[in-house]
């Protein structure tokens, strides 16, 4: 992304509204899946340097779960849902309707459940955007990564670095939101990283 | 007292201070390439992100090929001798475990290939390496003695 956040081509208020609607719908999809109400907290648009991404979630060595999808179609980009390791296990407990603490490791079944979370939130997010703008896009099957935060985020960094070489030192636009589940606030980070050109298309379609 | 120095994305650093430990945290597809001159007790670590530098102008240390050249130059400028260098590397994982994604974005393997080609061109060879796979690694180079270690999630630090 080399777009200047102040670029005249893009109506940012409009864009923010579209993305927020997407986040809220993603939360709705997630709520339906786990049978608990999930709310969107502090959705924000951030312009950050790719280099600073690994520091965004504390130490890049922290254990985490990343659920990653590519978006393809009229618009394209990356979706990454990042959960601290222990929170990911709580979400599995919620999905399997078992008490917190039951899940103690993330094997095949647990990872597959988390992949479904990615499928669903990604699809709900894109559906909401399609409804508002008529722009259609679909998510790829999700990849679930259980690893250090830095290693997980390398996927975004390497992909962005390839898509747009100038982006590395420049700011990239990132839409970020946390979610809360029931009365528990969880630090699920839902990030949307649009490919170059995508924001112009979305903004134009939303007007 | 150990002085931990984080080598971030696309960074490179050379040190002769025995207290320094050069660390690249949580390498996924990125490569952590270490060089060490055992006579001078001088170490350098590169955290390279992408395989090949096509335009030669942008940040040298961002790319595996130009980054290795840059690290070698920095070591030699600081007095190290090429024929004494102990080279080790780790990283280059393929983090995406879904076939539809990994075939297009296997930057890890391309980073490894680029490193091997660069080493061959330079006539140098890594003494040890632990690359590829599907798991992230933290890499440390201890300047005092040249110890090069990796650590993976849920595991102990170990020397390679």
User: Is there a domain that residue A3 lies in?
Assistant: no
Which carries the bigger pLDDT value, residue B12 or residue A53?
B12
User: CATH number, domain at A169?
Assistant: 3.40.1550.10
Report chain B residues whose CB lies below 8 A from the CB of A154.
26-30, 49, 95, 136
pLDDT at B99: 63
Query: CB–CB of A54 and B8 under 8 A?
Result: yes
Burial label, A16 (beta-carbon count in 10 A; 0-12, 13-18, 19+): middle
- B4, B6, B11, B28: which to substitute to probe chain A, counting the most A Cβ within 10 Å? B28
Which residue shows structure tokens 């208020």? Answer: A13
The confidence band for A3, taking pLDDT boundaries of 50, 70 and 90, is very low
Which carries the bigger pLDDT value, residue A157 or residue B26?
B26
User: Is there a domain that residue A85 lies in?
Assistant: yes
Question: How many domains is chain B partitioned into structurally?
Answer: 1
pLDDT tens track for A43-52: 877 777 777 7
pLDDT at A46: 77
| CA–CA gap between residue B112 and residue B65 (Å, rounded) | 10
Which carries the bigger pLDDT value, residue A138 or residue A7?
A138
- Of the candidates A50, A147, A161, the beta carbon closest to that of B153 is on A147
pLDDT tens track for A91-110: 888 888 888 899 999 999 99
What residues make up the domain containing A153? 12-206
A148 in reach of chain B (CB within 8 A): yes
| CA–CA gap between residue A181 and residue A197 (Å, rounded) | 34
The confidence band for A151, taking pLDDT boundaries of 50, 70 and 90, is very high
- Of the candidates A50, A61, A143, the beta carbon closest to that of B96 is on A143
Report chain B residues whose CB lies below 8 A from the CB of A143.
95-98, 101-102
Q: What number is the ipTM of this complex?
A: 0.87
| CA–CA gap between residue A189 and residue A187 (Å, rounded) | 6
What residues make up the domain containing B41? 3-159
Burial label, A45 (beta-carbon count in 10 A; 0-12, 13-18, 19+): middle
From B12's Cα to the closest Cα of chain A, the distance in A is 14
B9 in reach of chain A (CB within 8 A): yes
User: Is there a domain that residue A5 lies in?
Assistant: no
Inter-chain contacts counted by CB atoms under 8 A, chains A and B: 109
User: CATH number, domain at B62?
Assistant: 3.30.1330.200
pLDDT tens track for B7-58: 999 999 999 999 999 999 999 999 999 999 999 999 999 999 999 988 767 7
pLDDT for residue A55 is more than 80: no
Radius of gyration of chain A (CA): 16
Report DSSP letters for chain A, one per residue: ----TT-TT--HHHHHHHHHHHHHHHHHHHHHHHTS-EEEEEEEEEEEEGGGGGGTTS-TTSEEEEEEEEEEESS-EEEEEEEEHHHHHHHHHHHTT--TT---S--HHHHHHHHHHHHHHHHHHHHHHHHHH---EEEPPPEEEEEEHHHHHHHHHHHHHHH-GGGGTSEEEEEEEEEEETTEEEEEEEEEEEPTTHHHHHHHHH-
User: Is there a domain that residue A6 lies in?
Assistant: no
pLDDT tens track for A60-69: 888 999 999 9
Query: CB–CB of B28 and A50 under 8 A?
Result: no
CA atoms within 13 A of residue B74's CA, in its CB half-sphere:
22
A167 in reach of chain B (CB within 8 A): no
Question: How many domains is chain A partitioned into structurally?
Answer: 1
């Amino acid at each position: 992304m080399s777009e200047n956040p102040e670029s005249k081509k893009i109506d940012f208020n409009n864009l923010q509204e579209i993305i927020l609607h997407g986040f809220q719908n993603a939360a709705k999809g997630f709520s339906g899946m786990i049978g608990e109400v999930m709310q969107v907290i502090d959705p924000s648009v951030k312009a950050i340097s790719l280099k600073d991404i690994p520091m965004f979630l504390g130490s890049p060595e922290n254990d985490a779960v990343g659920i990653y999808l590519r978006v393809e179609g009229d618009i394209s980009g990356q979706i990454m849902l990042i959960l601290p390791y222990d929170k990911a296990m709580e979400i599995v407990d919620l999905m399997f309707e078992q008490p917190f603490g039951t899940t103690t490791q993330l094997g095949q079944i647990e990872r597959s459940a988390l992949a479904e979370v990615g499928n669903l939130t990604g699809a709900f997010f894109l559906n909401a955007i399609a409804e508002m703008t008529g722009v259609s896009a679909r998510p790829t099957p999700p990849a679930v990564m259980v690893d250090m935060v830095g290693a997980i985020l390398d996927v975004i960094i390497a992909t962005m670095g390839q898509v747009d070489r100038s982006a590395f030192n420049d700011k990239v636009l990132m839409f970020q939101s946390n979610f809360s589940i029931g009365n528990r606030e969880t630090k699920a980070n839902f990030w949307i990283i649009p490919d170059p050109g995508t924001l112009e298309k979305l903004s134009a379609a939303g007007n | 007292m150990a002085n931990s120095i984080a080598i971030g994305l696309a960074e490179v650093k050379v040190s002769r201070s025995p207290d320094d430990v050069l660390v690249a945290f949580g390498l996924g597809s990125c490569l952590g390439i270490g060089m060490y001159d055992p006579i001078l007790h001088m170490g350098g670590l590169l955290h390279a992100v992408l395989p090949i530098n096509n335009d030669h102008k942008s940040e040298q240390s961002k790319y595996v090929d130009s980054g290795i050249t840059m690290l070698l130059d920095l070591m030699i400028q600081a007095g190290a001798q090429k024929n004494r260098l102990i080279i080790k590397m780790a990283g280059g994982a393929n983090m995406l475990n879904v076939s539809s994604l990994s075939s297009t974005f296997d930057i890890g393997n391309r980073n490894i290939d680029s490193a091997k080609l660069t080493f061959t061109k330079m006539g140098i060879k890594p003494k040890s390496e632990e690359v590829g796979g599907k798991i992230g690694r933290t890499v440390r180079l201890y300047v005092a003695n040249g110890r090069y270690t990796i650590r993976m999630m849920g595991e102990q630090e170990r020397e390679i």
